[in-house]
Each structure stands twice: as C-alpha cells, then as structure tokens.
Structure 1
Amino acid sequence: MSRQGATQRDLTENPLRKPVNTLAIVPTRSSKITVLARKAYNVLLYIAQEQGIEQEVFRAPLQSILRGVDFNSNAREIVKQHLRAMVSTTVEWQSPTAGEGEAWNVAGLLAHAKVYKQRGENWVEWSFAPNIKHELLEPQRFARLRLDVISQLRRHSGVVLYEICARYRDVGLTARQPWPWWRPVLTGSPDTEDSVKQEYRFFKRDVLKLAIAEVNAVTDLDVELIEHKAGRFIADIQFRVGKKQQEALPLRHPPAPVDLSQVVRATAAGIRSEDAEALIQTHGNEAMTVGLDALLKRIANEFPEPLRDPYRYLRALLESNSATAAKKAAEGSANPPASSAAAAAALEGWTAEWVSTRRALVMAEFEALSLETQADWVERLRAHLYERGVHPSIRKRLETNGWKHPLVTGELIRFFKGADWDRPTPQELLTIAAQRGGR
C-alpha cells in the first residue's frame, strides 16, 4: 500500500506517532498555542507522516483538517490566523524526559503554509523546517496518540497531559520535573513576570486538577498526580500512568478534522476568535452551540435595547446555562462523602461559591447596560417592590442609596434574572467540586 493511500487505514493500525521532542513544546515569545491549534497541528503531522518523508511539501483538502469552515470572510480570517501562528510561533522542542531525543534548536511549528483553490475546493499546503522534518516524519522515539481521543479533549492542558502520559503508558511513571517546568508546557503560554510568581496551590487548582479530571474522564488512561516536597513545599511533580481495564473504542479513519464551526459562528456574532476558543475550552462545543443559538436570538430581538457586548452576554449565559444533570451524578457518585452531613456541607460550600460567582456575573451584565436602560429597570423594580409589599426599609434604601445597596441588590438581581438565578445546575456544582478537589 502506498503512503498516500495509507490515510484510509484504520487508526488502530496507524495512530499518530508524535516525536517525544514535540510533546513538551513551549512558545519562546509572547504568543500562545491554543487547543484548536494543537489539535490541527496533530492532524497536519498525521497527514504528512502518511504522505511520506520524500515529499517536500504536503497538501490536503481544508475540510479534512478543519470542520465547519465554508471559507466565507470570517472563516478565512480564522484559518489564516491559525496557520500564521503555526509559522510565526517559534517553540522550544523538548522531551518530557531530560536527555531523551535529539537536541534541537528553536524552530517554528511549520516552515510555510498556503491556502488555495483547486477545482473549486479549498486546499492547504504546508512544510516543516529542514532541521526537524526527519524527526517529525520518521521519529525514533515517539508517543502513539489516538486522534479521535484528542478530538474529545477541550482543554489545552488536557491534550498535553494526555500526549505526555501516553508516552509513558507502558512505563507507569512520567519523568519528574520541577513543578514550574510544567506550567508553560500544560498551558501553552510562555512564562511571564506575573506567572512566575504564581503559587503552586493555584496552579494545581486551575490547571493540574482540571487536566487530570479530563484525561481520566475521556481517555483510556488513568492518571494520578505525584508530589515531591523539598522541606515544607512542593518542589517536583510527576504523574503515575495506568491503562483502563476496558476495551478501546473503535477508531475512525481518516482522522476527524478539528471543529472550528462554533468559532466561525461566534466571530459572525461579533466575538473575537480567541475569546470564542477560550469559551469552548471552558464549556465545550455542545454548550457553546446552545449559547450561540440564544445569543443570536437576543441579537435579533433588540428589546429592551440592542445588545452592546455579545461576548459578555454569551459568557454570562454559558456560566448560568449548563445543560447536564451533574447534581444527580454527584449524588450517585461511586465515591460519595463519608457521611450525609459531610455531603450536605460539601454541597452547601459548592453552592455558595457558585452563587458568589454568578452574582458577580449578573451585576457585570447589568452594569453593561446603558444608564437609561438601568434607570428603566430600577423604576420597574420600584413598582414591583411596592406591588409585592416588600418591607419599607428595602424600598427606602432603594430611594436613598440606589440599587447597589446590599439590601437592594438581591431584589434587583431576582427581578432582572428571575427567581431561579441562584440555583446552579448539577454540572455547575461538579465544576466547582472539581476545582476545589471535592473539599
């Protein structure tokens, strides 16, 4: 079978062979590697390996790399943005294990990229820098990666952790590294003056726990964090890697293209592509689809006034409208808290934290309205409080101190967002629980 025809083979026979030196790449400048860019790069690398090292340049239909791109003006700019970043972003090529693999200098993810039309179809052309091409396409040390699994991961940290742990699935332990080494590797962003001051506990809460939870939920690996102390403080970390005792799902062929459809929709609604990607990373494609549907309806309906900030509106919507019943899942969890009292206390803590965040988001949404619209809402609230016979002290505070007085704000939020504004969905509670490690 020819290398060109190999793209039709089942991926169980021919997964992506990703060189060890590409697993822990870090941008050398202020640029950031997004999760969609990393996924797209994996598809480009897979296709190039199938087409063969003898090729100088590689070509494939755009739709085989990126899904949901009809190449209108918005989509064209998004494609250009990602390809431009792959060419212009220089990265440090390094293995997670010191001394493993060849010693490379910095190089771009791609040497060049071009989008063109051929017989009415959009195609992508790309190449790799000569000093890394051989190792990329004919690697001696590599991780075997399932691209259908990677397509289900939505966090950059989750994708990277899966790729690194897949390299060590037969070893059982990843390399041990100082914990700050993992920060730019997992986030895809170079360290900054602020990030180097970050405490380990926040990195663990915001990056490590969420990445581990995603890998364990989606992939065929079981990953566990191992911490090593120097005195009283965490100095190094590594991960214990196990294989789940279950049959692997059948893989598709060829690799599924990276889904850009929701990013395209979001940019058409006036949201920056990087903001749209961040929302997808946090909430997932399905939630983004539902949120964008609601956003487009709100844009079409200009009452009480035209929407001024689509991004802020969509972000608040996604925060408050998760679709999954995670509370029931938590109640039926295989690892419930030790007692009903402990469960109730944990639930109360998660709910309080969610309500605090939700309250801030609603207030931000209200303050984003024009002063005239705010005044109209306040006037309607005044009439509403009078009709309900609310205690005179609250109505007096509204008259003398305005809607920002603590006694009034709760009434305003309830009137503005409805009686259920402070009732989190089960999925939202589980998100808080994951961030807090179940405490």
Structure 2
Amino acid sequence: MTQASAAPKATRRQHDREIVALAVPAFGALVAEPLFVMADSAIVGHLGTAQLAGLGIASALLTTAVSVFVFLAYATTAAVARRVGAGDLQAAIRQGMDGIWLALLLGAAVIAVFVPTAPSIVELFGASHTAAPYAITYLQISALGIPAMLVVLAATGVLRGLQDTRTPLYVAVAGFVANGILNAALVYGADLGIAGSAWGTVIAQFGMAAAYLVVVVRGARRHGASLRPDAAGIRASAQAGAPLLVRTLSLRAILMIATAVAARLGDANIAAHQIILSLWSLLAFALDAIAIAGQAIIGRYLGAGDRDGARQACRRMVEWGIAVGVVLGVLVVLARPLFLPLFTGDSTVKDAALPALVIVALSQPICGVVFVLDGVLMGAGDGPYLAWAMVVTLAVFTPAALLVPVLGGGLTAVWAAMTLMMAVRMLTLWLRTRSGRWIVTGATR
C-alpha cells in the first residue's frame, strides 16, 4: 500500500470515529425525547379514555409549539462549533449563553400565550366535551415547562457545538426515568389524575434544564465567559435562527398537508397514514443523529479554516447517510409483517399501509442524503439557503399532494408525493453543496 493511498483511508477512519462518537449518543438522546410522551400516555391511559384523549390533544399542541423552536439547538450548535474550531472556547460558551437567554425569553412569551388561551385552542382542535377539560388542564400546567424545554434545546446545542453528545444522552435518560417516577407518584400516589402527569413532566423538564445549566455554567466559569444577558448577542442568535424557523414551519406545513390529504381518503387510510408517519419519524431519528454529528463536525472544520477537511467530512457523511438509509429500507421491508399488527388488526388498514411502506423503504437512501446535507449546511450556518430551499420544496409538494384525491392512488400516492418532496430537498441541497458556496471559514459566518 502506498503512502498516498493510506492517507485517504486514515482520513476516512478519522471521520468515521468522529461520526460514530457524536451520532450514537445523539441518537440515544433523540429517542429518549418521545419516550416522555409514551410514558405519560401509558400512565394516563389507565385513568380513562377521556383523560387519554385529552392528553393526546394537549401533547400534540405542546410538541408542535416546541418543535417550532428547534432552531435554538441547530443554530447554537453551528455557532458554537465554529468558535471551537477557531480555538476560542470563551467566545463559544458566550455564544451558547446568548442562545440560552433567547430560549428563556421565547419560553416566557409562549407561556403568556398558551396559559390564558388554552380553552380556546383546545376548542379549536375539536376536542369532545368529555376530553376538553382534561386537555385544558394538561395544557395549562405543561405550558409552564416550556421555558425549561427551550433551555434544554439551546443547551443541547451548546454541548453539541462543543463536540459533546454524551452529556445530552445522560440528561435525557435521567429525565425520562424521573418523569416516569414522578408521573406514577403524582397521578396515583397523590391522586392528582391528569394534573399529576402534567406536573411530573414539568418538574422533570426543569430538572433537565437545571442539569444542563450546571454544565454550561461550570464551563463558562472555567473559561472566563460572562453569564450575563447580552442584547446584541441575543439579537444575533434570533437573527441566525429566523431562517431555520422558516425551514421548520415549511416542513411542518408539508406534514400537515400530507395528513389532511390522507384524512380525505377515508378512515382506513388516515389510520394507516398515522402508523406509517410514526415509523417514518422513528427512522428520521437515526438519520438525524448523523445530521447532528454533521452540524458539529462541519462547524468545527470551518471555524478552524479547514476547507478540505469540511469537504472530506461532508463526503464521508453522505456515504454514511446512504448506507444507513439502505439498511433502514431493508429493515422496513422485512419488518412489515411484524410491524403492522402492533398497531392494528384491521385488514383494511393493513392493505392500505403495505404498499405505502414499500415506498417509504425505497425512499430511505434519499432521506439519508437529505438529512446529512441538511446537517452539513446547518453546521455551515447556511440558514437562509435552507429556508429558501424548503419553501421551494413546499411549493412543489403542495400541488402534488392535493392532486392525490383527484387522480387516485390512495395512500401509496400520498407517500409517493412525500418521496417526491424528499427528492426535491435532495436536489436543492446537493446543488448547494456542489457549488461550494456554503464553505465560509472563520469564527463567525
């Protein structure tokens, strides 16, 4: 083996080690998050159908509200990683503190909206008269935990930018365990019903936020970074996050349109759609873990001024995305007979879901490329392009999805439109990475 051929292999091994070291703990933390809702559902479900229905409505509203602000994690990761690459840990942590202060301000604003308007919001979602009181109770109490949830997002971004995905995993697991214990104790032990579940989750969320703050504050003191709010820094964090907010809202709109179209196809199709969407979301966690590694690694390389390292890391992560996508696609095909009975015994629902699952399986390599390139461009701080690309994707997807009830094809056609959406995203992201315009070096973009 020549020295020239050995060098690229050594570089690939280095990238592989970095990707695995960041992606595996990130995947664990991502999977732990939805377990909160599952634990709440399992405990509240034994109180009665009306309570579980109320929890379902309130959880959907809370999840949507928090997911809109996921840019707190993404933008913070990229900004902090750049500073780390530039060798300025003090500025990196200072940048992270600006994101945390922004999270607190946004959390307070969300509380001001959700608590007084909870009855109206629940009514707007068409809750039954039996489920509505429980939904309102859960929503008003759980909304108090939103500032903590947003702090967790921002602080997670800080640690990811510092190339640390293990601490978020440990905090997420501890939070899940505490949430389960508190829920059981307050719902049954203290006999607080659904309110006990809400309070248990709020306490667990504030505990997680406190754990993150302890880690970040220790780092700030160690490197002499100020903990005080800085108006200019907070404003800069908001400006960096605004394009990613547009991206997230466009993606949420796509998912809502797909669900609305599936609902028009009948009960069996919407039931099958919900099952497939839950699987699609689970698969996304695996691919998003690689994207998170991409955000941290690319940001660090660009901050250090290493253009070639950024390009090589991007190329290797794309290879990872394709490989993981192929594996996930094969698993979906093989697991179809076992997966569907876990959710339904209705043969009509199964018949609607089976061909659509094949489409989902075939699309996984595309999804792998999309998630990775999305993470690469986020790590590069290329938010404005990501916003524009997602708006274009929404414009292409909307007419394609709305034509499904007219042209036919059922749920399979809906998921074909979803695959088209991912293909458009892949094209726009590939064109950007190929152009090299995302490669902007330095401590700030």
Q: TM-score, normalised on structure 2?
A: 0.31
More strand by share: 1
More helix by share: 2
Structure number with higher relative contact order (C-alpha < 8 Å, ≥ 6 residues apart): 2
Q: TM-score, normalised on structure 1?
A: 0.31
